[in-house]
Each structure stands twice: as structure tokens, then as C-alpha cells.
Amino acid sequence: MKTNYRLLIISFIILLVSSGCNTPLKFAVTPINIDHPLSTQKNIVLLLTSDLCNSSHEYKGLIFSFGPALCANSEKIAKQIFPGARIINGELVDNGEKVRLTIKPVLVSKIIQSKRTLPMIVNTLLVIRWEITDSDGELISKKTIRGGGRDDRLFGASSEPRFRKSIQEAIDNLFIKSSQYLSSSEDLRQALN
């Protein structure tokens, strides 16, 4: 029985292409550097939820997994502003340890829209609400931050790089604003005094 190598190669290529379409496309962490931390206390917690960390957007078989970048950015700026902060993924469990502040980023909205014009335009809006509570669970501060991104290049980009650019721009914009809020919040400063 003669083996049809050409058919085998074509089948293998199709398998590679189809499986590659379902691979989540990830995003970079925003380059933010905060020189002056607010507090080095060990009893500050950053609470990250699965809703935030697993956020994604699908477009024609492409999965844009931006949740890990949201959580990595949250962790990065929390550690820069509060170097002693503990990072907790999931629910805060009472283990008897006194927690002075809990900082929780909540994904309020993700709007990622594409316009099938020539060229294609992709707009992204990501909205996070920062909730900061004290040791008794009382709300100290709440701030909603919006980050926008857009790709409207005239030439040379298919849908994947257009979505990538728009979403990455929104992530960067969101966390630059978030770092400014967290590092300059008067409510936070008063709570730490």
C-alpha cells in the first residue's frame, strides 16, 4: 500500500493552523516605575479574582487573553506602591492575621469593537474599579478608571495585529492612570497614617 506523503503533510499543516487559532494571545506588562512607595507595611493585601485574571476576547477563532496582563499589572504597581504587600489570588481567608488594607481591582466593563471598514478599525475600552477597604471591611476609597485603545492604521495590518495594538494600548492607558490614582490617593494616605 503506497503512502501519500503529500496528503499527510497537508493534513499536518491544517492541524497546526487550526490548533494555533485557539492558542490564547497574550499581552505585555505596562512599563511603569514608581519611585516613592506609600508604605512598606506587611499587612496590605492585593486581592486578585479569577474574573479579572481570566478576561479575554474572542474574534473569529482568535482568543485575546488580556486578563493575565491585567493581574500582572495590578501586582506590579501594588508592589511598587506597597513593597510589603501580599498578593492573594481568589478569596481573602481569615487566618487570624491583621489586614490593614485590602486593595481589589474589579473589571467593570470590556468593550472591544471592530468596524469592518477599509481599513478595519478596532476600538477597545477597559474599565476597572479599584476598591480599597480597611481591616473591618469598610470601604475607604473607590475609583473607576477607564483605559482606551484604538487601531486605525491605513495600511499593512490584518485583524490580529489590529486587535493586539488596540487592546495593549487600552491596558497601558488603564494602568498608567491606575498607578497615578493609587500613588496619589489622599484617602489611602490618611488610612495609612
Evaluate whether 106 touches 131 at the Cβ level (below 8 Å): yes
Q: How confident is the model at residue 190, as a pLDDT? A: 81
- The model's pTM is 0.82
* pLDDT (tens digit per residue) in 34-65: 878 887 777 889 999 999 999 999 998 999 99
Half-sphere exposure of 131 (CA within 13 A, CB side): 12
Q: Tell me: pLDDT of 95 over 60.
A: no
Q: Tell me: pLDDT of 17 over 80.
A: no
Q: How confident is the model at residue 18, as a pLDDT? A: 40
Evaluate whether 187 touches 141 at the Cβ level (below 8 Å): yes
Average pLDDT over residues 154-183: 91
Give the three-class secondary structure for 32.
coil
Q: How confident is the model at residue 89, as a pLDDT? A: 84
According to DSSP, the residues that pair with 64 across neighbouring strands are 25, 57
Residue 120 grid cell:
478595519
For the structural domain made of 35-192, what CATH number should be given? Answer: 3.30.160.150
CA torsion sign for 186, 138, 53, 144 is negative
Q: What whole-number distance in Å separates Cα of residue 59 and Cα of residue 68?
A: 18
**Which residues lie below 8 Å from residue 156, measured CB to CB, with a gap of 6+?**
none
